[in-house]
A and B are shown apart, each in its own frame.
Chain A
Amino acid sequence: MTGPRLGLWCDGVPRRALVLCGILLAVLLAAPLALNSYLLSVLILVLYFAYTGQAWNVMMGFAGQLSLGHSLYIGLGAYTAAALFMHFGINPWVGSLAAMVVAAAFGAAVGYLAFRFGIGGVYFALLTIAFAEFTRIGFDHFPWVGGAGGLFLKVVGKGRFDLLHLRGSAVMFYYLLLALTVAAFLLCHRLMRSKIGYYWLAIREDQDAAQALGIHTFRYKMYAVLLSSAMTALGGVFYAFYYNNLFPEQIFSMERSVEIVLGPIIGGLGTLFGPLLGAFVLTVLAEGLRDLLSALGLALPGATQVFYGVCLLAVIVFLPDGIWPGLRRLLGLDRAAGPGPKREG
């Protein structure tokens, strides 16, 4: 099945992995036919976290730069595309280009400040939080986009399927998000095996050594931030047009940032399937917990957050590499059975 064009993507991927990927994709493609609207909305949430997690993973998983303020890029992406659409009637697809540019510009500012002045690790994370927070406060007082009162997109024709203007049913949004997730997955897959992917890995593993080998660490860390922020912004555009309402307090909140981070960490940092798997496990379990609690007649605000915390603890203690590396071994997808480096996928 590896024709000349497919070969580019499948080179070196075990056949078994390709088959499993195909099955997974087929299931995801067929899912809307079998699911009711509630379950579909859960699956949309799963894909949303899978996509944004994948975008975040570029920065942390690949290049080792911990961002705890990715809600910044979600919010900027969402607000840019939504405001352009509302005020000037600019098509959301054009708007998403603008959204990516705006988010990348903010990312560039964060990255430049941090990398130019040698801020790393936890201090870098604090800087990302600071940027997200003051942007949130800025948007609270930004009347053009509705300030703290929020920005609302007109909800028209739930039954429509207007892909061009991003107005339509949940099913349309589902397929759109699925396409985005698959595209992000393929992009990351390519990047991991490219020169830039190896540079990132070198920077993540030992930045001093990477520098000593002549890798322009500043530049490659910037690439990671730019790519990650632009990708995340697209997730934000989706969020805006799917939910139709934006509030700075919600979209720029620390909670949003943490939700993005949890999936990849629980699934497996720096792996391709980690963000997908983590998003699936967390979202499905959290929704299940919510249903269970409401069935029992218990209203426990914050139960989800406690649950996230427990999941995180469990993974850190029992599966420090995340769920995916173990699952990969179970599925027999490890390339070499020997002591070789286990990093792919």
Chain B
Amino acid sequence: MMLEIAGLDLAYGDAQALDQVSLGVPERSIVAIVGANGAGKTSLIRTIAGIHKPRAGTISFRGQDITGLPCHRVCDLGIGQVAEGRQIFPTMSVQENLEMGAMLPRARAQAKAAMAQIFAMFPRLAERRVQAAGTLSGGEQQMLAIGRCLMGQPELIMFDEPSLGLSPALVQEVFNAIRKLHDSGLTIILVEQNVALSLAIADKGYVLENGRIVMSGSGRELLGDDRVRQAYLGL
């Protein structure tokens, strides 16, 4: 297992956000975490990233205990995230946004090569390299957020709702990009409300409900499961 989580508990004051969450992410896999709004998906990602400190439980990355490590240390291990709502720096140019992604020691040396790769992958970004990021379209901003994360040379990328607020065509484009990243050898955690699409590309899926994992299985199994179909796919 690349990432292993056992018995993770997180609370905001009295509100329990994660309750005994355990899951494993194998190397080079796509793991989807699905669930309704408020199920704890974003809390889970933010806890892995070191933004929230769990009350109990452990997170280990390649055998190393990373529970409670500060954010920048987690990043430096090669765990990147593409946060919800894109979170680009609006007044910085596209190129500056990308450069910001390569500030970590592990990434600085390869920054030039990485940028060339990202521009090859998302030619629209290359065209707009000097433009302020705030003036990009929603889809372009999502590409920029992904590119910026890649600049940090991650080995595991956590996507939080990458399809949020995008048109169906752009959603497809984003998912194609995710699949391409996976093919290039990256491990991916995908948190999504778009259950059908994310389970379709996932090796493994977990269903979160009220902070608890209520179901898990391969992407295909879950897609075929009656309860999932009923609760999340409206079938």
Residues of chain B within 8 A (CB-CB) of A213 are: 75, 100-101, 103-104, 148-149, 152
| Cα A217 to Cα B100 with chains together (Å) | 13
Asked if B89 and A206 sit within 8 Å, CB to CB, the answer is yes
A340 on the B face (CB < 8 A):
yes
Asked if A214 and B103 sit within 8 Å, CB to CB, the answer is yes
Given the known interface contacts A209-B83, A216-B70, A336-B130, the answer about A201 and B92 at a Cβ–Cβ threshold of 8 Å is yes
A198 on the B face (CB < 8 A):
yes
Given the known interface contacts A208-B83, A213-B103, A216-B72, the answer about A341 and B96 at a Cβ–Cβ threshold of 8 Å is yes
A215 on the B face (CB < 8 A):
yes
A212 on the B face (CB < 8 A):
yes
- Of the residues B76, B81, B88, contact of A206 by C-beta under 8 Å: B88
B74 to chain A, nearest CB (A): 8
A48 on the B face (CB < 8 A):
no
B117 on the A face (CB < 8 A):
no
| Cα A8 to Cα B74 with chains together (Å) | 35
| Cα A336 to Cα B92 with chains together (Å) | 14
B51 on the A face (CB < 8 A):
yes
A294 on the B face (CB < 8 A):
no
Asked if B91 and A343 sit within 8 Å, CB to CB, the answer is yes
Q: Nearest B residue to A206 by beta-carbon distance? A: B87
Residues of chain B within 8 A (CB-CB) of A343 are: 91-92
- Of the residues B75, B93, B96, contact of A214 by C-beta under 8 Å: B75
Residues facing A in B20-73 (CB within 8 A) are 49, 51, 70-72
Asked if A341 and B92 sit within 8 Å, CB to CB, the answer is yes
Asked if B91 and A341 sit within 8 Å, CB to CB, the answer is yes
A87 on the B face (CB < 8 A):
no
B135 on the A face (CB < 8 A):
yes
B218 on the A face (CB < 8 A):
no
A302 on the B face (CB < 8 A):
no
Residues of chain A within 8 A (CB-CB) of B89 are: 201-202, 205-206, 209
Given the known interface contacts A205-B91, A212-B87, the answer about A339 and B131 at a Cβ–Cβ threshold of 8 Å is yes
Residues of chain B within 8 A (CB-CB) of A218 are: 70
Residues of chain B within 8 A (CB-CB) of A338 are: 130
User: Number of B interface residues, CB 8 Å?
Assistant: 32
| Cα A230 to Cα B92 with chains together (Å) | 28
Residues of chain B within 8 A (CB-CB) of A5 are: none
Asked if A205 and B90 sit within 8 Å, CB to CB, the answer is yes
Residues of chain A within 8 A (CB-CB) of B92 are: 198, 201-202, 205, 341, 343
| Cα A209 to Cα B151 with chains together (Å) | 14
Residues of chain A within 8 A (CB-CB) of B104 are: 213-214
Q: Nearest A residue to B81 by beta-carbon distance? A: A212
A158 on the B face (CB < 8 A):
no
Residues facing A in B95-124 (CB within 8 A) are 96, 99-101, 103-104
- Of the residues B71, B100, B152, contact of A198 by C-beta under 8 Å: B100
B132 on the A face (CB < 8 A):
yes
Residues of chain A within 8 A (CB-CB) of B131 are: 339-340
Central interface residue in A205, A214, A342, by most chain B CB within 10 Å: A214
Asked if B130 and A214 sit within 8 Å, CB to CB, the answer is no
B112 to chain A, nearest CB (A): 16
- Of the residues A214, A339, A342, contact of B76 by C-beta under 8 Å: A214
Asked if B51 and A211 sit within 8 Å, CB to CB, the answer is yes
A195 on the B face (CB < 8 A):
yes
Q: Nearest A residue to B105 by beta-carbon distance? A: A214
| Cα A343 to Cα B93 with chains together (Å) | 10
| Cα A341 to Cα B72 with chains together (Å) | 27
A191 to chain B, nearest CB (A): 16
A247 on the B face (CB < 8 A):
no
Residues of chain B within 8 A (CB-CB) of A206 are: 87-89
CB-defined interface of B128-168 with A at 8 Å, one 1/0 digit per residue?
Answer: 00111001000000000000110010000000000000000
Asked if A341 and B103 sit within 8 Å, CB to CB, the answer is no
Residues of chain B within 8 A (CB-CB) of A340 are: 93, 130-132
B5 to chain A, nearest CB (A): 19
Asked if B88 and A212 sit within 8 Å, CB to CB, the answer is no
Residues of chain B within 8 A (CB-CB) of A339 are: 131-132, 135
Residues of chain A within 8 A (CB-CB) of B74 are: 214
A56 on the B face (CB < 8 A):
no
A199 on the B face (CB < 8 A):
yes
Beyond A201-B91, A212-B81, A341-B93, 12 additional contacts (C-beta under 8 Å) are A205-B89, A206-B89, A208-B87, A209-B87, A210-B100, A212-B49, A214-B103, A214-B104, A216-B72, A340-B131, A341-B91, A342-B132
Chain A residues within 8 Å of B, Cβ to Cβ = 195, 198-199, 201-202, 205-206, 208-218, 336, 338-343
- Listed by A's residue number, 20 A-B pairs whose Cβ atoms lie within 8 Å are A198-B100, A201-B91, A205-B90, A209-B87, A211-B71, A212-B49, A212-B80, A212-B82, A213-B101, A213-B103, A214-B71, A214-B103, A215-B72, A216-B70, A218-B70, A339-B132, A339-B135, A340-B130, A341-B91, A341-B92
